[in-house]
Amino acid sequence: MIDIKSVNKDYWRENIYFLSLVICVGVLPFSEALVSISAGILLFQALILQSWKHPSLLFRSPKTLTLFISVFVVYILGMLHTKDFHFAVYELKKVIFWIVIPLAVFLSPKISEYKLIFVFKVFVVAVTMASLIHLGKLIFANNLYLSDFRDVSIISHIRFSLQVVLAIILSGWFILHKTTLKPNAEIILYIIVSVWLIVFLFLLKSLLGLLAFGITCSVVLYLFIKNQKDKKIQKWAILLFVIVFVLLLIFVGKAVADFYNYNGETSEFAEQRTLSGNLYSHDLNNIIRENGTLVYTFICEPELEKEWNKRSKINYSNSINGFPLNSTLIRYMASKGLKKDSVGISFLADDDIRLIEQGVTNYKFKNSRFSIYPRIYETIWELDYYFKTGDPNNKTLAQRIEFVKASVFLIKRNLFFGIGTGNWKIDYNEAYDKMQSKLLPEKRGPSHNQYLNYMVKFGLIGFFWIMFALIAPVFIEKQQRNVVLILFLVAIAAANLGDSNLETHMGLSFFILFYSLFLWNSTRQMSSRD
């Protein structure tokens, strides 16, 4: 005899869990606080409804859940030799999602394919809406006083770029598996969404997001070629990969060539004067350039200050985006090949003044808010400056190189067990001091590389255990043929080369939520390449 009461309970368990998931994925692109609240709701509903009594959990193995929880245990064990207990507790709070979200998903029923697809669609819609908000902020950046592409992001631009990559992967899967999309109009809609999100990824200018997307696309192409029986199609696919790769090299190569297209200045100009008779200053030891022109030559500060203050409401002695305005002005004028004096200022149009006020350092970046070129050029400039001066401050990639150097320094001295949880501020500061790094105290930080971070904190033993705990569930849950999951893991693995995503609130909650869903809720269709 059918137990109606039990059936009703299972019905409520399934639907409340489904609703909790919809809320959770819907707020991911928008709010850190809402993610915390929705994660709490996800666990609370499983406990209050005793969802582990649902029939779908009868054959679910706790091995994967144990592995996820073991990552959190590694952080606890790292506290055995902590020097800063309060900071160690702070680190534990950031990684508590290793327990909260996997436990919530594990204890909840396996929802139907229709509901799972709906959850994924809600996520894609949420990411798309967030991207449109980003676009609006980019278009009206001047009115909103936003001067940096990072400022338009609602959450961290790196974490959001990873959400965009997953939304592209899911949209692609929807399109290829047409049973998930009923009317043809829906297929066309997801094609448009996919194209838009790819374009948006370039507008966001997150190099790490683009790296993750590029490597994921390479894996997709590899799988396509491997499973393609038609030799002609295989050859065309390989040719497409080569063409894209060559075009990418040409694009980056052009930026490098533009940067190193030096003008032939000599030291003969060292005593020249301005047309007003004032002396120029020349720092011949500083060989930094903009568009091939030496930046710190032909500078007359008194004339620059006087004429600039006539043209702009922002005082010459002020700062923009943390950088002195005069430094931005001098770089911009050098990019145009102008002498940095009153005559040079007179050659600047009103649009040039406006760009300098926004912190733009090169005239080539004009009208390029939606172009990736300035981001690549600025990266080349940062690296060139760093390698010539050894000064990494206020330069994103250069600072990360210093972070990596300090991480390697610490790993060598704490090879097997690491420095422990909560110790990174103390130990990294000591490492920078011993390395005689030029990095300012307020700029110092841990490696923006998840793998190095694990090795620094927990040594090789902790690192290899965490890697095992991350990879083994794919095989334990027999999801190694789940292409969507594999592509998701590839994207995260690539992104972790340039940031410690799994030690941030948004990065870890996003990763572990979808990883848990793919492991315990994927349908047969998703787990098969057929």
Angle between helices 63-77 and 85-94 (to 10 degrees): 160
Q: Are 456 and 447 in contact (CB under 8 A)?
A: yes
pLDDT at 150: 59
Q: Is 273 left (phi over 0), alpha (psi -120 to 50) or beta?
A: beta
pLDDT at 269: 55
Type and span of the H or E element at 320: strand 319-320
Judged against a pLDDT cut of 90, whether residue 10 lies above it is answered with: no
90-132 tens-digit pLDDT: 999 999 999 999 999 999 999 988 899 999 999 999 999 999 9
Please report whether residue 54 resides in a domain.
Answer: no
pLDDT at residue 394 tops 90: no
Number of structural domains found in the chain: 1
Q: How many CB atoms are closer than 10 A to CB 122?
A: 17
**Is 306 within the bounds of a domain?**
yes
pLDDT, mean of residues 374-386 = 81
Q: Report yes or no on 98 lying in a domain.
A: no
Kindly report, residue by residue over 471-516, the tens digit of the pLDDT: 999 999 999 989 999 999 999 999 999 899 999 999 999 999 999 9
How far apart are alpha carbons 326 and 331 in whole angstroms? 9
Band of pLDDT at residue 387, cut at 50, 70 and 90: confident
With respect to residue 259, please indicate whether it lies within any of the assigned structural domains: no
Which H, E and C letters describe 99-141, residue by residue? HHHHHHHHHCCCCCHHHHHHHHHHHHHHHHHHHHHHHHHHHCC
290 strand-pairing partners? 293
345 part of a folded domain? yes
Contact 500, 447 (CB under 8 A): yes
Q: What residue numbers bound the domain in which 272 lies?
A: 267-365
Any domain includes 334: yes
Work out the average pLDDT over 152-181.
Answer: 85
Is residue 344 included in any domain, yes or no? yes
Q: Is the dihedral of CA 133, 134, 139, 140 positive or negative?
A: positive
Element (H, E) at 226: helix 207-227
Asked whether residue 53 is domain-assigned, the answer is no
pLDDT band at 295 (very low <50, low <70, confident <90, very high): confident
- State the chain's mean pLDDT as an integer: 86
In angstroms, the CA 47 to CA 387 distance is 56
Comparison of pLDDT for 368 and 509, the residue scoring more: 509
Cβ count near 181 (within 10 Å): 18
Collect all residues with Cβ–Cβ distance below 8 Å to 210 and sequence separation of at least 6.
Answer: 161, 201, 202, 372
Q: What is the pTM of this model?
A: 0.84
In this prediction, what percent of the chain has a pLDDT beyond 70? 91
pLDDT band with cut points at 50, 70 and 90 for residue 468? very high
Residue 368: what pLDDT?
A: 62
